[in-house]
Each structure stands twice: as C-alpha cells, then as structure tokens.
Structure 1
C-alpha cells in the first residue's frame, strides 16, 4: 500500500489489532507495515515513532469506554459502571496496562473519561479535592485488578516466543508455589480451592467485593450518603 493511500485512522486501527495480538513487545514499524501491506517507511510519513504510535493507539481504546449519565441519587451505581467499563476495556487490551507503566499517555479519550469520572463525584456533592481523591482511588483499584490478566497475557507470549508451552510452565510454577506454601497453614488450607487453580487468579467475586467496599467507604464531605 503506497504511503499516499494510508490514513492515520488505518494505521492506528491496525496498530491496536497488532498490540492486541502481540503486545507492546510485538509492535514495530516493520510488523505494522506488513499488516498494512506497506513499507515501514510509508508508516513514518504519518507517525513519528513507536512511542507516538502507542500514544495514539491508547487514545483510541480509551474512546471505547461508554460514559453513563450522571446521577446524584445513584452516584455509586454510576461510579460502578465507570469502573466496570474501564476494567472491561483493559481486559480487552491488556497491553494498555503495560503501556501505562512505561509511557506518558494522554489524549482526548483518557481526558474524556477522567473528566466524566470527576463529574460523577462532583455531582454527588464531593468538593473538588475529595472528587480528585475518589476518582484516583477508583482508577487505581481498577488498574490493579486488570494487572493480573495483563501479566498472564504478557508471560504467555514471552514463553511462546521462546518456544515453550505456556500452560505447562504455569502448571509447573503453581506446583512449585504449592510446595513453598506448605509450611503456611492458611495458604495450605486453600491450595485445593478454585483460588489456587490459576496463575494470578483471585477468588471469584474479589473485584466486585473490593469495588463495593471502596465506594461504600466514600462519602461527600464525610457525610452519610
């Protein structure tokens, strides 16, 4: 595909697809050009470098998060929807959690989300500084919960690139971790539960329970609500 037929929209859309398939480690101009059917040099006419491409891709996926209507009477319900939709987007695009830790990300997609989340708390009566803290706590909580899925995806790709069997390596690692846990009674008692069957997995309901506890602990001005 000649450079004059490429568009920024095509490049960013394809970059997101490549990132979803290969992660940050698999993104480079040559691989992207191959997917686009163009030379890597043609991509450089529209995007400065890989960091710029990650920035644009991140902004695109932030726009996927639908924003619920503000509702002062049910602000916790709205905040829950904001958290759940962000979490779902991060699980769809596990590379974004890595990018947040290694790139300075900004753009209209993230700004749109952040502004609306502040609105959730301000509409509920939180003063500006308290709204900032509440929004920061919610986003940090969601990112922390998405980290496990992102790490497993990244580790799986790393093992496969090295020619290994990711599932078998996870199984062997869990078996070694179970041996290490034997002297510790609370861990030992849980080894046969569902919580111990997956690498990086938390018990069912952990995310929802934690989010509920977080939001129940937030009150505008410390007042009952």
Structure 2
C-alpha cells in the first residue's frame, strides 16, 4: 500500500515524530535555526549546516522537520510570539495601535529575515503564535469599533511590514559593511552628494543626514508614516 501523503503542505498538519535522540527536539532545532537566520540570513541556512551546529545528522533533523520550508514555518511562528499586542480594553486606541505597530517593527528588525518570508512560509498562519497574534489584534480592533476590523488591521500591517522590510534590508547591508550605521552613512554620503550635484533638495538632505542620528531618522520616518495611517483609520472610524 502506498504511503499516505500529507494533504496540506504545512508542518502544522502532521504529527511530530518521537525522537531517538533525547537531546534533540523540535524547539531546540528552531531556536538554533533562528540564531543562524539572524546572523547570516536565509541563504546561509541549510539543514546540513544546522545539523552540524547541533552535532546531529540530517536524518535526525528530518525526524522533527521534514524540509527547510517547514523549518521556516516554525521559525516564523516562533518569532511572532515576541510581538506584543496591547490589552483589548486599552482606553486610547491610537496609543494601542501605535504600540502594536512598534512591537511588530522591533521584532522585524531583531530578525531581519522575517518580513521577507511572511508571504512565503507555506501555511504559516496555522502556527499557534500567528493564530494567537491575529486573534488578539482582531479582538483589539473590534473593541475599538471598526466595522471592518480585518481591513483596518491589514492597512496597518501593510504599512508596518513595508517599512520594516526596507529598514531590515538597510540594516543588513550596514551589518555586512562591518561598521556602524553612522560610519556607513559617512562613507556613502560624499559619493551620493557628488551624484546629486545640481539637485538642491537631495544635496541638502544628504548634508543634513551627516549631522543626525541615523536611528532617530528611521524612528522619525516610521512614526510620521504611522501617524498618517492612523489619521486615515480615524476618519473611517468616525464614519
């Protein structure tokens, strides 16, 4: 008889195999995978390299995680568990939405690979942390009074994910340079100023960037855009 195939291609749709190696667990595999992802990115992660770091053969890993895609599902769900959502009865809805957005951004910047795989991690939304996160957000926005809370959430998260993806890519580039963000900007700016000669607004912006804290610049950009999004949501809420 042919072996039964999994009708749903997701790690959450099959039972976890018992381990013949007690020291090796799915949770431990995922934790080590996240360390590798944070340090070197998705391209550097492989089951072979992960097994070597855990002093385990690939066969042992596959007893817990069948493929790299499954591993990414598990890693995504694990880090989503770090994202905080304010209490459903928060008295100030804008402050609550700002806190939720800020926590998502902070998590995405700690794990710069996260946003790039959110739409690629198979049926990642079957994960317990992702489901709990979605449920808490839905409860918060429903309690706020949005007639279509899921659409309001989608609008907020689309902005946060877009900004976080850009920031994460930038910070990854900075990290690969081996220097600080300020050092990287200082090296980049003279060439940018030369290329922008004749474009007054760009020249002024590049010059100003040298005198400002790059972290504060990124925080300010994020906060400004978030305020615009919340202003728009406030108009929908008022209707």
TM-score category of the 2 structures, normalised to the smaller one: 0.7 to 0.9
Of residues 205, 209, 228, the one that matches 1:190 is 205
Give the gaps of 5 or more residues in structure 1.
none
Change (3 A) 1:73 1:97: same
Shift of 1:15: 1.0
Instruction: Report the equivalent of 1:135.
Output: 153
Over the aligned positions, Cα root-mean-square deviation in angstroms equals 2.9
> 1:76 maps to which residue?
94
Residue 178 (1) aligns with residue 185 (2) = no
SS at match of 1:219: helix
Q: Deviations over 1:166-201 (max 9, x none)?
A: 559876654433322222221112121127989999
Query: Residue 209 of structure 1: which of 224, 231, 238 is its match?
Result: 224
| Equivalent pairs, count | 215
Contact 1:127 1:220 in 2 (8 A): no
Q: Following the alignment from structure 1 to structure 2, what is the Cα–Cα distance between the partners of residues 133 and 195?
A: 39
Task: Map 1:119-158; keep pairs closer than 5 Å.
Answer: 119-128=139-148, 131-155=149-173
C-alpha distance in structure 2 between counterparts of 1:202 and 1:221, whole Å: 29
**2:68 alignment partner, one of 50, 56, 77:** 50
Equivalent residue number for residue 12 of structure 2? none
Who is 1:21 aligned against? 39
Is the contact between residue 141 and residue 152 of structure 2 (CA under 8 Å) also seen in structure 1?
Answer: yes
- The equivalent residue for 1:110 is 130
Residue aligned with 1:73, SS: coil
Cα distance between partner residues in 1 of 2:167 and 2:236:
35
Q: Tell me how far apart the structure 2 counterparts of residues 29 and 141 of structure 1 sit (CA, whole Å).
A: 33
Task: Provide the TM-score with structure 1 as the length reference.
Answer: 0.82
Structure 2: unaligned runs, 5 residues or longer: 1-18
Which shows bigger deviation, 192-201 or 205-214? 192-201
CA deviations 1:23-51 (Å, max 9, x no partner) are 10111011111221111221111111111
Whole-Å separation in 2 of the counterparts to 1:3 and 1:22: 30
Q: What's the CA shift string for 1:123-176, capped at 9, x where partnerless?
A: 111113xx122101111111122123321344457xx5xxxx555987665443
Match of 1:4 in 2: 21
Q: Check the 8 A contact 1:33/1:39 in 2, yes or no.
A: yes
Deviates more, 1:90-99 or 1:67-76: 67-76
Bigger shift: residues 132-141 or 165-174: 165-174
